Amino acid sequence: MSICFILNGKNVATDSPADTTLLKVLREEMHMYGVKRGCETGECGACTVLVDGENINSCMMLVGEIEGKSITTIEGLTTDGELDPIQRAFAEKGAVQCGFCTPGMIMSVKGLLNRNPNPTRAEIKEALSGNLCRCTGYEQIFEAVESLIEGRKSNNNG
Ligand code: FES
Ligand code: FES
């Protein structure tokens, strides 16, 4: 029996066995190559997606668990060709080098801001502690998130 779910706002279905990882289905069936395959053991965060708004490692979730749920990948963040503000902040702050960690990192930031729109530096660090980056040293990534939050505050006050 097919497993039905919503992917980036569209109804989709998979006939893969229920014990297939969500990562495998997203990449190999749905062609969402922005969902990166890193460690496949839940340690690097490269495969992060949102499930009903919460960030999870798609390599650790089985497709049998996602019936009726809404999955968002990095491909679902752009609207009418416009980058998401998180993507723009990463680009502006130079938070991207090789880019391998970037989609997962951005999806973790999205999940963080969904549950806490105004995180402190410590909360940002904690939220991104499961996303490994071998290039940036993380500082530019934290700065990108902070600049986004500051920008929102000034827009709200302005
Ligand atoms: S590939 Fe999923 S956490 Fe590394
Ligand atoms: S930018 Fe290269 S791993 Fe993060």
pLDDT score of 155: 82
Decide whether any atom of ligand 2 lies within 6 Å of the 134 Cβ: yes
Tens digit of each residue's pLDDT (9 = 90 or more) over 89-142? 999 999 999 999 999 999 999 999 999 999 999 999 999 999 999 999 999 999
Tens digit of each residue's pLDDT (9 = 90 or more) over 21-78? 999 999 999 999 999 999 999 999 999 999 999 999 999 999 999 999 999 999 999 9
Which ligand does the CA of 101 lie closest to? 2
Helix (H, G, I), strand (E, B) or coil at 104: helix
Mention every residue, 6+ apart, whose C-beta is less than 8 A from residue 71.
5, 6, 7, 8, 22, 26, 49, 50, 51
pLDDT score of 158: 62
Q: How far is the CA of 10 from the centre of ligand 1 (A)?
A: 24
Helix (H, G, I), strand (E, B) or coil at 120: coil
List the chain domain ranges. Answer: 3-75, 85-157
Decide whether any atom of ligand 1 lies within 6 Å of the 104 Cβ: no
pLDDT score of 153: 84
In this structure, which CATH number among 3.10.129.10, 3.40.50.300, 3.10.20.30, 3.90.1150.10 belongs to the domain 3-75?
Answer: 3.10.20.30
Q: How far is the CA of 32 from the centre of ligand 1 (A)?
A: 15
CATH number of 85-157: 1.10.150.120
Q: For residue 149, count CB atoms less than 10 angstroms from its CB and return exposed for 0-12, middle for 13-18, buried for 19 or more.
A: middle
Give Cα 156 distance to the centre of its chain. 25
Question: Does residue 41 or residue 80 have the better pLDDT?
Answer: 41
